[in-house]
Structure 1
Amino acid sequence: MDNQIQVENYKIQQPEMWAGNIGDQEIKDRIKDSEFARKQIEEGRDYCYFLDKKYYSSNTENSEYICMAYTLNEPGNLERASVSDVVVEENEVYQIHRISVLRDGVLIDKIPDTKIKVLDSENQSSGGILSSNKKINITIKDLRLYDVLILEDTRVKEFTDRDFLRKEFSKYVWVSPDNYWAYGSFKFTFINEREQQITYKKTFFRDEQGNVLEPEINYLKKGDRFVIEEENYINPVDSGREIFPYIDFATESNWKELSNYIVPMYDEVFSLASLKDFAPNLIEKIDAITDQDEKLEFAIEYVQNHIYYIFNADEMNGHKPQAPSVTYENKQGDCKAKSVLLKVILDYIGVDASVVLVNFNTDYYIKYYLPSLLSFNHVVVKINYKGEEYFIDATIRDEFGLIENRGFIYFMHYLEVKKDQELQVRKPYKFPYYCVNEKADFNVQGNTGKLNLVTTYRGNRANAMRRYFKNTNKREIIDSWNSFLFYSLNYSNDRNGTDVRNVFKDAVIDVISDDKKQNELTIQYSSSVDNPYYTDPQGNRFLMYFDRNLVKASARDFMHKDLPFWHNFDSEKYEINLYTDQKIDTDEKYTVQETTIANPYFDFKSRKKIAKTGATVFIEYSPLVNLEIPQSEFERFREDHHTIADSNFGLGIDIIEAGLMNRLKFSFKKRFK
């Protein structure tokens, strides 16, 4: 082997006693070509002869052992096996026990053919992400197609004082394996060597008919083992419509105990110093602001924009926040540090605020998980102000507005850092404003149309649009609008393949106003269009404007047996005016069609105003968001979105061509339609 000097990030050694010891002959005996194995290999499926996985948890370490043997029958699989990376955390050691191949019945040790490099896994430091992780790059020479590769290794994470939370609490989620693989033998063992009892909860397991079983909860005392074992196994989960079964292992506790465990850590930093002691210059600026709404806005934007966000991966697994005086002095900190500083400033100005723990990535599962502080990966600030509840992420930049106009953060579950707290669920939310408010005018004279759009964005949309205009080339922005309008005006159906720049002439787009206190950004787009009518294959002409943003494809197409639909659409308002110098069919079904939908989860209304030479539609869409729609109520929700998609998301007008014969033709068509 090329690496004779052992380094602290990896070792080549025998497994620990708890993992067991498997000999060469036993390895060979377990790699047998059964009828099940032959069938999977013939079907082109990658095949794992055996997978033996053990997770060992104690008060001094967490370790994960794996021994597996799998086929290299696919070129892609061979490439991935030949060069691989293992990322280890600070104080984590990767132990290599065995790298071998079974080739033509002979077991060959491949450790001498293995090259190992230890690299820094630090590739985002310029973005404020700090990590002491190391990347162990493993290259195995002379792996051949149709080899059986045997890997045996352990990842050992020994706890330091920084890992005080991991010493005190265990948290591990076992997820059933990917259903791409077939396993001759599959075994998972959880070993509890902690002083505390561990609870485990089996969730989303199914009976033989595929129905989800009720969660099953059991306990492991010190020295106990939990084992799952399967033979000739392919995970039967329908991955597109079902959640993979998983088992949550956690130190036995409840939310109230956990909140009381963490509160003293935050109380300690809150008591270290007052804002007057460490930030007199900041107080001077705050005191100069007389309006309380503007003080609150200043406090939020000061912490978001003037305190640099540093994500320290090694410290996020603990919950001891940095003192606010240090955060202020250094002008940097992680989410805990920034949230604590914001709360201290809000306390000074008399605004009720608290720090809360969240996990945006696994928010849906928290209600199923066992109580654990290790279920959270982020900290935000909850603010109670003028009878309303707001959540502010202190790590976000380029957010604007008085608090009622700021962007809305979508998540459902949180634990407030106060005594005797339970896991809380946020209330559903209805926007007090329209996130998008657009007026579209398309006026046609002769064979030229003048198109004008004025759009006002608020909340998250305003913040996102500011960033988009700031970071994107103006020509690219115009092309994006042109492309959208190419479909909205239905030109994609009579001139598809045409360069949109040749359709929309002299296109211009600009920000015409930006009120940062209201968090309201208004833009204007204008262009001229030659040959503005959509013409069908029969030669009939139409003016059409259908905004497909109103057609919520994710709601109409949603199909899942386990997940409820997460409702997070924006509120929208549109006025669309289509006018021409031609007569139009004022009785055409879809031109005059209006609708009103009163769904428990959204209100939708479209109203029309019809004239001899044009029409206007007014559309309002107001959803109730930040909630899951129960499956029992989803079909009605879906059907109502189908109704919107049935020509209620815009406006179309039919042109009555000039001339006696055309009018007779039109009259005849209407009579026998």
Structure 2
Amino acid sequence: MENTIQAENYKIQKPEDWASVITDDQIIEHIKESDFSAKQVEEGRDYCYFLDKIYYTSDIKNSEYACVAYTLNEPSNLESASVMDVVVEENETYIIHRISVLREGVLVDKIPDMKIKVLDSENQSEGGILSSNKKVNITIKDLRLYDVLVIEDSRVKVFTERDFMRKEFLKYVWISPNNYWAYGSYKFTFINDREKTIAYKKTFFRDEQGNVIEPEINYLKQGERFIIDKENFINFVDSNREVAPFIDFATDSNWTDLSNYISPLYEEIYNKSSLKDFAPKLVEKLDAITDKDEQLQFAIDYVQNHVYYVFNADEMNGHKPQEPAVTYENKQGDCKAKSVLLKVILDYININSSVVLVNFNTDHYIKYYLPSLLTFNHVIVKIDYKDQTYFIDATTRDEFGLIENRGFIYFMHYLEVKPNQQLQIKKPHTFSYYGINEKVDFTAQKNVGQLKLTTTYKGNRANYMRKYFKNTNKREIIDSWNNFLFYTLNYSNDRNGTDIRTIFKDASIDIVSDDKKLNEFTINYNASIEGPYFIDAQKNRFLMYFDRNIVKNGARDFMHTDIPFWHNFDNEKYEINLQTDERIDTEEKFTIQESTINNPYFDFTSRKKVTKNGASIFIDFKPLTNLEIPGQDFEKFRTDHHTIADSNFGIGIDIIEQGLLNLLKFNFKKRLK
């Protein structure tokens, strides 16, 4: 074996006493063909003869052990086996016990054929993310198709003072294995060697009919084990529609005790020193602002934009925040540090706030997990102001507006860092403003169309569009709008394959205004179009404008059986005006069709105004947002979105062609309706 760098990040040694003991002869005995294995190979999948996985936890370390033997019948698996990357954290060691292949009945030791490099883990090194993680890169020479690869290894994380939270509390989630693999033998063991009792909760397990079984909670005292042991096993989870079964292991506790554990850590930091002492210049600026709304905006803007966000993975795992004086002095900090500084500033200006713990990535699953502080991976600030509750992410940048106009954060669960707290649910939300308010004027005269869009974005949409216009080439922006309008005007069905730039002549887009207090961003789009009408196969002409963004296909197509639909839409308002110098069919069904939908989770109206040479539609969409749609309500919710998609997301007008023959044809068609 060639070691390019010898380091503590990896070792080659025997397993620890709590791990399995397996000899070479036993491995060969376990790698036996069977009717079950033959069937998997016939179906073209690789096969795992056995997997023995153990998770061991004590008051000084966490360890994971695995011994696995699987086929290399697929070139992709051979490639990934030949070059492996294992990322280890600070004070974590990757330990190799055995790497072998079974080839023609003989077990061949491949450790001499290994080459190991230890590299900095670069996958998250940008954007202020600091990590002392290392990447152990292992290459193995001379692996061959149809070998059976045997790997026995461990990962050991020894706790330091910085890992006081992990030392005090355990959290580990076992997830049922990948449904690609078939296992001749699958065994998972959890060993609790901590003084404290470990609770475990089995969730999304199913009975023989495929129905989800009620979650089950049990407990492991020190020295006790939990074991899953299966033979000829395939995980038949429908990953597109079902949640894979999982088991949450956590130190037995409750939310009240956990909040009482963590809140003193923050209180100590809040009271270290006063804002006047460590930030006199900032205090001077705050005192000079007499309007409370503007004072609050200044405080948020300062922390978000003047204090650089640095994510230190090792510090984040600890949960003990940096002192606000240090954050202010260094002008940098992680989410805890920035949130604490913001709270200290808000305390100074007498605005009630608190730090809260969240995990946006696993927010849906938090209600299924056992209580644990290690569930959370992010910290934000909750602000109570003028009888309203707002949540501010201090790590966000380029966000603007008075607090009621700033970006809205969608999530459900949070734990407030105060004594005697329970896990809380963020309330559903109704916006007081429109995220998008758009007016469209499309006028056709002498077979030339003039198209004008005036669009005002607000809140999250304003923040996004402001960044988009700042960071994107102007030509690219115009092309994006042209492409959207190519489908909206239905040109994709009569001139597909045409260069879009030749259709939208002299297209331009300009920023009209950017109000940083109201957080409103307004743009104008203009273009001229020769041949503005959509022409069908029968040579009938139509002027059409159907904005497919109004149709929420995510709601219409949602099919998951375990996860409710997450409702996170904005208020939207549209006025679309079509005008022509031709005569139109003023009684055409879809031209005059209107709709009124009053769903418990959204209101939608479309109203029409029709004249002899044009028509207008006024669309108003107001959802109740930031909530899950209960299963019993979803089909009605889906059906109402289908109603929107049934020609209520825009307007079209039919042109009556001149001439007696065309008029007779029109009257005949009208009688058939």
Secondary structure of 1:422's aligned partner? coil
AA aligned to 1:351 is: I
* 2:17 paired residue number: 17
* Match status 1:409 vs 2:440: no
Q: Is the 8 A contact 1:128 1:309 kept in 2?
A: yes
Matches of 1:3 and 1:326, distance apart in 2: 41
Q: Is the 8 A contact 1:122 1:130 kept in 2?
A: no
C-alpha distance after superposition, 1:338-397 (max 9, x if no partner): 000000000011100000000000000111100000000000000000000000000000
* 1:496 paired residue number: 496
Matches of 1:127 and 1:381, distance apart in 2: 22
The 1:368–1:474 alpha-carbon spacing in structure 2 relative to 1, beyond 3 Å, is: same
Q: Where does 1:104-503 land on structure 2 (aligned, <5 Å)?
A: 104-503=104-503
Secondary structure of 2:3's aligned partner? coil
* 1:67 paired residue number: 67
Matches of 1:657 and 1:94, distance apart in 2: 78
Q: Where does 1:616-635 land on structure 2 (aligned, <5 Å)?
A: 616-635=616-635
Offset at residue 181 of structure 1 (A): 0.6
Moved more, 552-561 or 118-127: 118-127
* Match status 1:90 vs 2:90: yes
Matches of 1:197 and 1:220, distance apart in 2: 6
Secondary structure of 1:367's aligned partner? coil
Offset at residue 46 of structure 1 (A): 1.2
Q: Is the 8 A contact 1:176 1:235 kept in 2?
A: yes
C-alpha distance after superposition, 1:405-424 (max 9, x if no partner): 00000000000000100000
Matches of 1:390 and 1:572, distance apart in 2: 21
Offset at residue 295 of structure 1 (A): 0.2
AA aligned to 2:623 is: P
AA aligned to 1:282 is: L
Secondary structure of 1:401's aligned partner? coil
Matches of 1:127 and 1:426, distance apart in 2: 29
Matches of 1:342 and 1:479, distance apart in 2: 41
AA aligned to 1:535 is: I
Matches of 2:5 and 2:224, distance apart in 1: 37
Matches of 2:292 and 2:341, distance apart in 1: 19
Moved more, 64-73 or 655-664: 655-664
Matches of 1:237 and 1:79, distance apart in 2: 27
C-alpha distance after superposition, 1:510-532 (max 9, x if no partner): 11100010000000000000000
AA aligned to 2:439 is: K
Measured on the aligned residues, the alpha-carbon RMSD in Å equals 0.7
* 1:514 paired residue number: 514
Secondary structure of 2:244's aligned partner? coil
Secondary structure of 1:297's aligned partner? helix
C-alpha distance after superposition, 1:39-71 (max 9, x if no partner): 101111110000000000001000000000000
Secondary structure of 1:411's aligned partner? coil
* 2:556 paired residue number: 556
* Match status 1:55 vs 2:55: yes
AA aligned to 1:566 is: W
Matches of 2:126 and 2:257, distance apart in 1: 39
Q: Is the 8 A contact 1:122 1:132 kept in 2?
A: no
Offset at residue 659 of structure 1 (A): 1.1
TM-score normalised to the size of structure 2? 0.99
C-alpha distance after superposition, 1:126-169 (max 9, x if no partner): 41100000000000000000000000000000000000001100
Secondary structure of 2:179's aligned partner? coil
Secondary structure of 1:142's aligned partner? coil
Matches of 1:344 and 1:412, distance apart in 2: 25
Matches of 1:476 and 1:11, distance apart in 2: 52
Offset at residue 122 of structure 1 (A): 3.5
Structure 1 unmatched runs, 5+: none
> Matched residue pairs, number?
673
| Percent of aligned pairs sharing the same letter | 75
Q: Is the 8 A contact 2:342 2:394 kept in 1?
A: yes
AA aligned to 1:657 is: E
Secondary structure of 2:314's aligned partner? coil
Offset at residue 7 of structure 1 (A): 1.8
Matches of 2:182 and 2:20, distance apart in 1: 24
AA aligned to 2:166 is: R
Matches of 1:359 and 1:453, distance apart in 2: 39
The 1:238–1:481 alpha-carbon spacing in structure 2 relative to 1, beyond 3 Å, is: same
Matches of 1:5 and 1:275, distance apart in 2: 48
* Match status 1:667 vs 2:667: yes
Q: Is the 8 A contact 2:5 2:117 kept in 1?
A: no
Offset at residue 191 of structure 1 (A): 0.2
Matches of 2:449 and 2:41, distance apart in 1: 63
C-alpha distance after superposition, 1:263-311 (max 9, x if no partner): 1100101110010110000011111111000000000000000000000
Secondary structure of 1:51's aligned partner? strand
Secondary structure of 1:467's aligned partner? helix
Offset at residue 4 of structure 1 (A): 8.5
Matches of 2:598 and 2:25, distance apart in 1: 70
AA aligned to 1:337 is: A
Matches of 1:452 and 1:49, distance apart in 2: 65
The 1:17–1:36 alpha-carbon spacing in structure 2 relative to 1, beyond 3 Å, is: same
Offset at residue 21 of structure 1 (A): 1.5
C-alpha distance after superposition, 1:558-593 (max 9, x if no partner): 001100000001111000000000010000000000
Q: Is the 8 A contact 1:96 1:153 kept in 2?
A: yes
Q: Is the 8 A contact 1:192 1:198 kept in 2?
A: yes
Secondary structure of 1:137's aligned partner? strand
Matches of 2:519 and 2:613, distance apart in 1: 38
Matches of 2:468 and 2:216, distance apart in 1: 48
* 1:605 paired residue number: 605
Secondary structure of 1:41's aligned partner? helix
Offset at residue 123 of structure 1 (A): 4.9
C-alpha distance after superposition, 1:640-671 (max 9, x if no partner): 00000000000000001111111111001111
AA aligned to 1:397 is: R
Q: Is the 8 A contact 1:575 1:618 kept in 2?
A: yes
AA aligned to 1:98 is: R
Offset at residue 20 of structure 1 (A): 2.4
C-alpha distance after superposition, 1:239-260 (max 9, x if no partner): 1110000000000000000000
C-alpha distance after superposition, 1:69-123 (max 9, x if no partner): 0000001110010001000000000000000000000000000000000001145
* Match status 1:540 vs 2:540: yes
Offset at residue 6 of structure 1 (A): 4.2
C-alpha distance after superposition, 1:2-22 (max 9, x if no partner): 128742000000000000221
Secondary structure of 1:127's aligned partner? coil
Q: Is the 8 A contact 2:513 2:522 kept in 1?
A: yes
Matches of 1:278 and 1:5, distance apart in 2: 45
Matches of 1:591 and 1:200, distance apart in 2: 60
Q: Is the 8 A contact 2:609 2:617 kept in 1?
A: yes
